[in-house]
């Protein structure tokens, strides 16, 4: 395997945060390289800051001048951009070059060429790589063969993309894609391409050195995605034939060679299920979020590769010292991205304090291995300032089914309390027959609903833990206060609970808790005039919050149906109505944004707007009242 010359890179600054920075630091620790973290004021106590040898505060992670100045200040030999933020910004690469600092990544010219989908398409054609049939943006939309995909030429990550199914929809979709492209990438240039109704997203990991050598580390399948955002990734691709694999990996190598690529990158393809043909989509000029599945299945001369170590080696000028024939695949790996979002309530981003975090890193399955890359710990605040991804759970097994079983068990063992995550959604998705049979294409999640976990078992558990009879419960008095202290409770497969030492566990141990490997935490809160006991239960990855009313208190009145509150903390983008306006059910009253996601606030029924508390540009908290609609005399809101 290639090794890094520490004479070339002694100090490395990582221009990123969270689990991304921790991932790079882990390799640096093994290589004896001094690490430098950058952080904003909000992140001053973040895990990546504590893990680094040196930390420097910057105004923002996207502030090129500040990050480069920090690298100069600490005498960094190189900067690793991670796989977000500045990782594909040519201006950042040029600024580092001007400062005499090595970027762990490709050149600025390559970023410019491959960072734009239109330029990358031309390079692919020159390399003999098949591309998706395209249309002239300014041609008559009536001449297009629908459906088509309108997408931003700059950037990636699913931003600025719209599927259009008729000429009548084209103008609105074009405007929306251009607006999102300008907002996300500062560029509203668009492409129009054939939309493949049923396709697989297959991408190839490539590594290239400065001496003209390009190698591929086989492929990944990222077909399980929602609105072009990846949810599950796996390697190797389960539906690709040996012939397709050879053609796709050869195309990726040819493209990298054509553009003069150096360092690690990913070439993405769309495989048409109807024809078996594949098309070049784009190239990501950085390490990908899903690179762990490649590290888990690929062997270079029989050993797992460390892609960050390979990146550092190339950046230090070392040649790749292995042949393509040295690269093989062993077993199967699947990765699940854990996000702070409520997947069963419109995938709305969530924020708050993670009161208890336990990652399911251990599984009782022969031969299986689980890896978790994360930077979330108990007590940590999750805000809307950054991407909602909290971590990645990766399972490896000797075959795909064993890897899938290990991932299910790992997600079962993942418990995050205090805020809702998509862990339960991921667990339910991995358990579907469609995923088991590798039958999910890139649009499957946009056409199907994943079955929501039944809360009955979780509710039974919560009820059992709120028994008020002190003689038949480990809890005294109000059911959650024990000697004035809150009582966290851990429930295990062997049906025991973990509570303070001076409290008996006999009655809870008798309750039917088999199959739960979760944590329960509850406390007493005041909601209006009623006292309620609120209990959090995580069952099969899904967080449930149950409120048990105090039988000795009055019940609080519910909020009126016509009040629209903020479903997430974020920013009001637009207010479209005023007091006195007549609105129809489903009409958008305004727009808000959080964690790069736009949400329309719609009227619940026909009626009249009686209150407008929202203001464009205002920051609003979760649950803040924004609009009130009074129903028509015959409306549903009465």
Query: What is the predicted pLDDT for the residue at 480?
Result: 31
Query: What is the predicted pLDDT for the residue at 307?
Result: 98
Query: What is the predicted pLDDT for the residue at 488?
Result: 39
Distance between CA atoms of residues 588 and 577, nearest Å: 9
DSSP state at residue 131: B
Query: What is the predicted pLDDT for the residue at 463?
Result: 53
Q: Are 226 and 445 in contact (CB under 8 A)?
A: yes
Structure confidence by residue, pLDDT tens digits, 580-620: 999 998 899 998 886 556 778 888 889 999 999 999 999 88
| Closest of 20, 50, 51, 54 to residue 36, by C-alpha | 54
Distance between CA atoms of residues 149 and 268, nearest Å: 16
Query: What is the predicted pLDDT for the residue at 494?
Result: 29
Structure confidence by residue, pLDDT tens digits, 319-349: 999 999 999 999 999 999 999 999 998 898 8
Query: What is the predicted pLDDT for the residue at 528?
Result: 28
Query: What is the predicted pLDDT for the residue at 594?
Result: 65
Distance between CA atoms of residues 301 and 1, nearest Å: 8
Q: What is the dihedral angle through the alpha carbons of 444, 218, 19, 76, rounded to the nearest 10 degrees?
A: -140
| Closest of 52, 80, 20 to residue 392, by C-alpha | 20
Residues 6+ away with beta carbon under 8 Å from 464 = 508, 511, 513
DSSP 60-104: -TT-HHHHHHHHHHTT-SEEE-TTSTTTT-HHHHHHHHHTT-EES
Residues 6+ away with beta carbon under 8 Å from 5 = 313, 316, 317, 318
Structure confidence by residue, pLDDT tens digits, 102-120: 999 999 999 999 988 888 9
Query: What is the predicted pLDDT for the residue at 159?
Result: 80
Residues 6+ away with beta carbon under 8 Å from 175 = none
Coil, strand or helix at 2: coil
DSSP state at residue 303: B
Residues 6+ away with beta carbon under 8 Å from 172 = none
Query: What is the predicted pLDDT for the residue at 511?
Result: 31
- pTM for this predicted structure: 0.78
Q: Are 203 and 222 in contact (CB under 8 A)?
A: yes
Q: Are 232 and 303 in contact (CB under 8 A)?
A: no
| Closest of 263, 327, 269 to residue 294, by C-alpha | 327
Structure confidence by residue, pLDDT tens digits, 253-289: 999 999 999 999 999 999 999 999 999 999 999 999 9
Query: What is the predicted pLDDT for the residue at 507?
Result: 29
Surface-to-core class of residue 93, CB atoms within 10 Å of its CB (0-12 exposed, 13-18 middle, 19+ buried): buried
Query: What is the predicted pLDDT for the residue at 362?
Result: 83
Buried b / exposed e along 217-250 (16+ C-beta atoms within 10 A): bbbbbbbbbbebebbbbbbbbeebeeebbebbbe
The low-confidence residues of the chain, meaning pLDDT below 70, are 1-7, 155-157, 456-536, 546-561, 568, 594-597, 634-638
Query: What is the predicted pLDDT for the residue at 357?
Result: 85
Distance between CA atoms of residues 260 and 241, nearest Å: 29
Element (H, E) at 535: strand 530-539
Coil, strand or helix at 137: coil
Residues 6+ away with beta carbon under 8 Å from 558 = none
Q: Which residue has the tokens 């784009």?
A: 282
Residues 6+ away with beta carbon under 8 Å from 355 = 378, 379, 417, 418, 521
Element (H, E) at 173: helix 167-185
């Amino acid at each position: 395997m290639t090794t890094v010359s520490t004479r070339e890179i002694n100090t490395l600054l990582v221009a990123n945060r969270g689990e991304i920075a921790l991932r790079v630091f882990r390799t640096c620790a093994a290589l004896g390289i001094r690490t430098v973290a950058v952080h904003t004021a909000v992140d001053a106590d973040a895990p990546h800051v504590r893990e680094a040898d040196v930390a420097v505060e910057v105004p923002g992670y996207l502030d090129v001048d500040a990050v480069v100045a920090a690298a100069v200040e600490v005498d960094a030999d190189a900067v690793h951009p991670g796989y977000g933020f500045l990782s594909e910004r040519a201006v950042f690469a040029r600024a580092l070059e001007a400062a005499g600092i090595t970027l762990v990544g490709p050149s600025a010219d390559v970023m410019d060429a491959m960072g734009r989908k239109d330029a990358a398409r031309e390079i692919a054609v020159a390399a003999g790589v098949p591309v998706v049939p395209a249309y002239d943006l300014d041609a008559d939309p009536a001449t297009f063969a629908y459906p088509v995909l309108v997408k931003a030429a700059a950037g990636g990550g699913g931003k600025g993309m719209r599927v259009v199914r008729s000429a009548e929809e084209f103008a609105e979709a074009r405007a929306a894609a251009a607006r999102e492209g300008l907002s996300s990438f500062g560029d509203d240039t668009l492409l129009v391409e054939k939309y493949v109704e049923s396709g697989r997203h297959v991408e190839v990991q490539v590594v290239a050195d400065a001496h003209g050598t390009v190698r591929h580390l086989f492929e990944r399948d990222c077909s399980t995605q929602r609105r072009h955002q990846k949810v599950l990734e796996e390697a190797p691709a389960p539906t690709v034939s040996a012939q397709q694999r050879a053609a796709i990996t050869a195309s990726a190598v040819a493209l990298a060679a054509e553009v003069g690529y150096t360092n690690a990158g990913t070439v993405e393809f769309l495989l048409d299920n109807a024809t078996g043909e594949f098309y070049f989509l784009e190239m990501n000029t950085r390490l990908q979020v899903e690179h762990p599945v490649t590290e888990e299945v690929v062997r270079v001369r029989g050993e797992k590769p460390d892609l960050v170590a390979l990146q550092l080696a190339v950046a230090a000028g070392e040649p790749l010292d292995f042949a393509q024939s040295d690269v093989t695949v062993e077993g199967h790996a699947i990765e699940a991205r854990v996000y702070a979002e409520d997947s069963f309530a419109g995938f709305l981003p969530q924020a708050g304090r993670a009161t208890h975090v336990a990652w399911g890193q251990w599984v009782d399955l022969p031969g299986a291995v689980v890896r978790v890359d994360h930077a979330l710990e108990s007590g940590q605040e999750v805000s809307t300032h950054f991407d909602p991804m909290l971590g990645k759970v990766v399972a490896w097994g000797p075959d795909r089914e064993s890897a899938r079983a290990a991932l299910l068990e790992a997600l079962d063992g993942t418990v995050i309390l205090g805020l809702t995550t998509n862990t339960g959604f991921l667990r339910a998705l991995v358990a579907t027959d469609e995923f088991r049979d590798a039958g999910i294409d890139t649009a499957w999640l946009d056409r199907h609903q994943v079955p929501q976990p039944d809360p009955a078992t979780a509710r039974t558990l919560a009820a059992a833990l709120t028994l008020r009879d002190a003689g038949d419960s480990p809890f005294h008095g109000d059911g959650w206060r024990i000697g004035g202290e809150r009582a966290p409770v851990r429930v295990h497969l062997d049906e025991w609970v973990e509570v303070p030492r001076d409290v008996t566990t006999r009655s809870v141990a008798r309750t039917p808790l088999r199959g739960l490997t979760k944590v329960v935490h509850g406390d007493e809160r005041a909601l209006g005039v009623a006292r309620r006991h609120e209990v959090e239960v995580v069952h099969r990855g899904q967080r449930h919050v149950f409120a048990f009313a105090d039988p000795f208190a009055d019940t609080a009145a519910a909020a009126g149906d016509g009040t629209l509150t903020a479903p997430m903390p974020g920013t009001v983008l637009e207010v479209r109505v005023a007091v006195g306006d007549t609105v129809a059910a489903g009409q958008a009253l305004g727009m808000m944004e959080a964690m790069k996601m736009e949400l329309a606030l719609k009227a619940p029924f026909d009626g009249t707007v009686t209150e407008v508390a929202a203001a464009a540009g205002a920051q609003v908290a979760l649950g803040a009242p924004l609009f009130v609609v009074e129903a028509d005399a015959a409306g549903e809101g009465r």
